[in-house]
Amino acid sequence: MENKFKNILKKTKAIESDPFFKNFEGALFKDSAWFFHFQESLSAVERKSDQLTPEIKPSIKTEIQSNAISLCEVVFIGDNYDGVGEDLLGKMIQAMKLSSHEFYRFPLNEELESIENLEENLQFPSKATLELLAFIEHKRPKVVVSLGATVTNILLGRREKLSAIRGSFLEKNLAKFHFEFMPVFHPDLLIINPNMKRTAWIDLQKVMERVGKI
């Protein structure tokens, strides 16, 4: 019996979380303008009434996750660029050195902004939420970048202050897919407040490192 307990202890080592990413230094912007020289922990997730039931947990790399097959590098969700004016997100993607087949942009559905009970929506997703999750599941990205508070809170199933969680890798489980996502400030906010572009760039560099671009 004593030997059995010893064997169990050997198999239950705590998994250490990823180390903090280094800070990136240097002048990234010039005159406050956008200026650059410039990775399946498939936890069992129950279906209720044939609905997706996502789960959020801290980012942990596992052997199963590292063997997951990704179809693209990054999916950006919450995009609301309508083709008029400055496409700041497009410039951000170019700066991240992502080629056209390595990323996808998913538009923000305004219906997501009217969802009040985020916890209930996490258990019984709305049509707009299901469309968003289905797109991610179909594209199977290594990383999802959630642009702004609306889509970030939809994924979390609760309201969080974006400034407190931006730049952090979080995890989400769908019925058939597990992925990491990082909340960042929305491009619209960066246009209004250019001084926040440096913070956004530091966050996006973490994504670049995750997908092997730096």
Q: Are strands 178-184 and 141-147 parallel, antiparallel or unpaired?
A: parallel
Evaluate if residue 203 carries a pLDDT over 80: yes
Q: Domain coordinates of the chain in residue numbers?
A: 43-210
Strand arrangement, sheet containing 178-184: 55-58, 170-173, 178-184, 141-147, 72-79, 103-107
Cα 75 from chain centroid (whole Å): 8
The model's pLDDT over 65-83, given as tens digits with 9 standing for 90+, comes to: 333 578 899 999 999 998 8
Q: Taking residues 156-183, what's their average pLDDT?
A: 93
Angle in degrees, CA 16, 151, 29, rounded to 5: 80
The model's pLDDT over 17-74, given as tens digits with 9 standing for 90+, comes to: 333 333 333 333 333 333 333 333 333 333 333 444 344 443 333 233 333 578 899 9
- CA–CA gap between residue 39 and residue 37 (Å, rounded): 25
Given CATH 3.50.50.60, say whether it is the number of domain 43-210: no
At 113, the pLDDT band (50, 70, 90 cuts) reads: very high
- CA–CA gap between residue 196 and residue 214 (Å, rounded): 22
- Total-model pTM: 0.69
At 211, the pLDDT band (50, 70, 90 cuts) reads: very high
